[in-house]
Structure 1
Amino acid sequence: MLDFAIFAVTFVIVLVGAVLYLYPSSRKASGIPGLNPTDEKDGNLQDIVNRGSLHEFLMSLHQEHGSVASFWFGGRPVVSLGAVNQLQQHINPNHTTDSFETMLKSLLGYQSGMGGGATEAMMRKKVYESAINNTLENNFPLVLQLVEELVAKWKSFPVDQHTPLCAHLLGLAMKTVTQLALGERFKDDAEVISFRKNHDAIWSVIGKGYLDGSLEKSTSRKGHYEKALSEMESVLLSVAKERKAQRKQTAFVDALLQSSLTERQIMEDCMVFTLAGSVITANSCIWALHFLSTSEEVQDKLYQELTEVFGSAPVSLDKIPQLRYCQQVLNETVRTAKLTPVAARLQEVEGKVDHHVIPKETLVIYALGVVLQDSDTWSTPYRFDPDRFEEDSVRKSFSLLGFSGNQTCPELRFAYTVATILLSTMARQLKLQKLKGQVMEVRSELVSTPKDETWVTVSRRS
């Protein structure tokens, strides 16, 4: 509960702090239905704390005030959108940027290239997405090798051995992302371990919130964070210089080096991909295997599809689009787990949702966790049911939220591919069983994460 409360406080502090820094604006109220400030100085901050998390606060806010609702941080209004139609209205005019990436860069303090207008933003987005797509295609055998090594390890376990999903799948994600993003240097386990140490230190601040309520309140924590960030940036700059001299073209950073991006921009994009890519990939895989372990029926349907598509042959990139049911499993994993429950944008010009005017320089929150479990959009929303994605209307709603289709977050698209390879390799050889009595609790961070280690047992498929 304390972690939830702290995150709720600090997430809003950081995002609104970014607004104040970037856009010292007027303080006029939006006129949108919502909460009045309960404190003149802090606005509704204590209400967020009382709810235990920003996600829980947004759930109650939209339940009481509708799909477009406002609350206050200090003297500034914040607008939250909590339904598919309203999100669509706001997302479509802003398709040149990704809300999750924008939020993450703001939290990291990265602003270079973000003020160059729509043309520069679109160019940079295309370079970033193309680099990820090309990297996956060029390195598919490596991803498959890393997955097969993990599955072989699981096959060697005794039937009754408890397997920790979080530890193993975070390790898989780190190895995959670092090698694909930064190249052969990260085949060395020592490099990956060092990278992970700094990654965890940065994400503990960015992902969980500033754990003491504000980074400025703890000199030691601030020093630890800044040291990790500086070391990570130095490593990324060093890798970029090495790869540029070697003229290689297999890693994510190589594609960025072929573009017109500055050295600083290349480093920032490598930081975003390695930070977000590792966490989103790891948690997509963790949640997918957790939900599979709860349903033998889903595992059997997945096995049947995989057998029909691949037979006894290894997973191949060209056949992945044929895995319709596997895609449904991953879509339902993302939806049920509320994988990314919150995203945000800065309202750079005056906008409108329904009949509500959103003033310039307002912070707009996308309450994705609210939308993903809205009973008006999803039947039995708390149930894991991949079959729901057989319906066109469900797939369309999911796509409108940016979780599938052309608007998918690039890091999520990468995670989908890795998770598909994992499920395709694992489900044809192994069955998963959930540990009896295990209760899953969620940390609603920037990416939803199991609060504790998640355990399963594995057995060979006969």
Structure 2
Amino acid sequence: MLDFAIFAVTFVIILVGAVLYLYPSSRRVSGIPGLNPTDEKDGNLQDIVNRGSLHEFLVSLHQEFGPVASFWFGGRPVVSLGSVQQLRQHINPNHTTDSFETMLKSLLGYQSGMGGGATEGILRKKVYENAINSTLKNNLPLVLKLVEELVGKWNSFPEDQHIPLCAHLLGLAMKTVTQMALGESFRDNAEVISFRKNHDAIWSEIGKGYLDGSLEKSTSRKGHYEKALSEMESGLLSLARERKAQRKQTVFVDALLQSSLTERQIMEDCMVFTLAGCAITANLCIWALRFLSTSEEVQDKLYQELEEVLGSDPISLDKIPQLRYCQQVLNETVRTAKLTPVAARLQEVEGKVDQHVIPKETLVIYALGVVLQDSETWSTPYRFDPDRFEEESVRKSFCLLGFSGNQTCPELRFAYTVATVLLSTLVRQLKLHQLKGQVMEVRSELVSTPKDETWITVSRRS
């Protein structure tokens, strides 16, 4: 009888274990509240697709389960953090890595470090950031020249002409990033057009086709993506070898060549900077001008600051920190547009947020788009109001999220500089006006982008 009881108990334990494994609805992520996988293979991917984007999915997830919530990418458990308080607990112990870069490199299949652990990762990050800083220092006149060409073009338009922000500012970002990252050969428009073709093919699939599994299900799309990635990688490798032979020291790739990085690592870092740099710079400028066009008061306040700090002089790197209101305008642009709505880190060691234990090697999502419009952190969160950044508590929250201060994503820091040059040139010459009846819809992927072209008109300052 005892033997039968032992057998019965053992059988029940095995059966329960089988049920937990075979039926997704029985599984949880370490007791953290959240969704069970709706499909054994895909996890909650279909739920994300049904919501339209990962950001919209995270909004609903945190509304239902609170600031710490879990879901599944395929068979992998994921924890999402959706409030400033919870992010503070997680970011502080992990400040040595950049969450946006980590996510982008993971999607591209690249390693974040130099192959030898955390210390090498920190060193590589330092090389990358120093390369961007030196590039800006050496090439600000180039940024100013490209911006002045664009503003001059707009100045020549009739005042009722509709200007397509997305087309013009993506073009500005492409020219700026390619020339500053890869050198003078990209002054040739044909080189920029060829780069853009591959850039668009890669960027359109990152964070979208991978996320919903649609890339794997389409042979033609996957082939197009892999061809574009291969062409971009081989082009960057060839360019790095040419620059090394020429021993030039003026642009981003040259700074990387002075380091101990391998050819492969230099190519990867050039890929990350050009991909992310173009997307973030273009969309920061697009959203900034779009929001400015809705407020004559903000434009006038910015104009007054530019006149006081710069007078009739062109902007310089040493003057940028003095443009405090301009910084507030860009901060509020990032916040209102949810410019980078999602970032991620891999939990390298077991961690804890509130009472929740996050196991080692869990993917941790930073639901930045949720946090940036959380009414408990920001008053009237959907309103564009640069004056909110006059409050120290607001600046501290923004800094914690990695959008300002020492933890700023280096691509975003680069974009802030380009956007500041653009605003300092444009606002002193022109006034921006929105088109009545134009509805702005957002495509929230790795970088929030207007779903359709957005238009403005301009008039000359008297």
Q: Normalising by structure 1, what TM-score? A: 0.92
User: Deviations for 1:253-283, whole angstroms, at most 9, x for unmatched residues?
Assistant: 0110000000000000000000000000000
Where in structure 2 are the equivalents of 1:370-385 lying within 5 Å?
A: 370-385=370-385
SS at match of 1:32: coil
Bigger shift: residues 123-132 or 32-41: 32-41
Describe the shift of the 1:394–1:164 C-alpha distance in structure 2 as closer, same or farther (beyond 3 A). same
Task: Answer whether contact 1:105 1:272 (CA < 8 A) is retained.
Answer: yes
Q: How many residues end up aligned between the 2 structures?
A: 436
Q: 1:31 is matched with which residue?
A: 31
Task: Answer whether contact 2:114 2:124 (CA < 8 A) is retained.
Answer: no
Describe the shift of the 1:414–1:160 C-alpha distance in structure 2 as closer, same or farther (beyond 3 A). same
Taking the aligned partners of 2:404 and 2:212, their CA distance within structure 1 comes to: 36
Task: Answer whether contact 2:28 2:36 (CA < 8 A) is retained.
Answer: no
- Over aligned residues, Cα RMSD in angstroms? 1.5
What displacement does 1:71 show?
A: 1.7
User: Deviations for 1:58-87, whole angstroms, at most 9, x for unmatched residues?
Assistant: 112112211111123344321000011211
Q: 2:258 is matched with which residue?
A: 258
Taking the aligned partners of 1:147 and 1:207, their CA distance within structure 2 comes to: 30
What displacement does 1:346 show?
A: 1.4
Where in structure 2 are the equivalents of 1:60-459 lying within 5 Å?
A: 60-111=60-111, 113=113, 115-210=115-210, 213-459=213-459
SS at match of 2:357: strand
The code of the aligned residue for 2:269 comes to: D
Q: 2:4 is matched with which residue?
A: none
The code of the aligned residue for 1:51 comes to: R
SS at match of 1:318: coil
The code of the aligned residue for 2:415 comes to: A
Name stretches of at least 5 consecutive residues in structure 2 with no aligned partner.
1-26
Taking the aligned partners of 2:369 and 2:360, their CA distance within structure 1 comes to: 25
User: Deviations for 1:378-410, whole angstroms, at most 9, x for unmatched residues?
Assistant: 000000000000000000000000000000000
Instruction: State the identity %.
Output: 89
Task: Answer whether contact 2:29 2:70 (CA < 8 A) is retained.
Answer: no
Taking the aligned partners of 2:272 and 2:423, their CA distance within structure 1 comes to: 26
Task: Answer whether contact 2:174 2:278 (CA < 8 A) is retained.
Answer: yes
User: Deviations for 1:324-357, whole angstroms, at most 9, x for unmatched residues?
Assistant: 0000000000000000000111112111111210
Q: Normalising by structure 2, what TM-score? A: 0.92
Task: Answer whether contact 1:342 1:369 (CA < 8 A) is retained.
Answer: yes
Taking the aligned partners of 1:368 and 1:379, their CA distance within structure 2 comes to: 17
What displacement does 1:446 show?
A: 0.4
Taking the aligned partners of 1:170 and 1:296, their CA distance within structure 2 comes to: 24
The code of the aligned residue for 1:66 comes to: G
Taking the aligned partners of 1:209 and 1:75, their CA distance within structure 2 comes to: 18
Task: Answer whether contact 1:30 1:77 (CA < 8 A) is retained.
Answer: no
What displacement does 1:29 show?
A: 3.1
Name stretches of at least 5 consecutive residues in structure 1 with no aligned partner.
1-26
Describe the shift of the 1:114–1:71 C-alpha distance in structure 2 as closer, same or farther (beyond 3 A). farther
Taking the aligned partners of 1:437 and 1:395, their CA distance within structure 2 comes to: 33
Describe the shift of the 1:226–1:75 C-alpha distance in structure 2 as closer, same or farther (beyond 3 A). closer
Taking the aligned partners of 2:197 and 2:50, their CA distance within structure 1 comes to: 33
User: Deviations for 1:382-441, whole angstroms, at most 9, x for unmatched residues?
Assistant: 000000000000000000000000000000000000000000000000000001110000
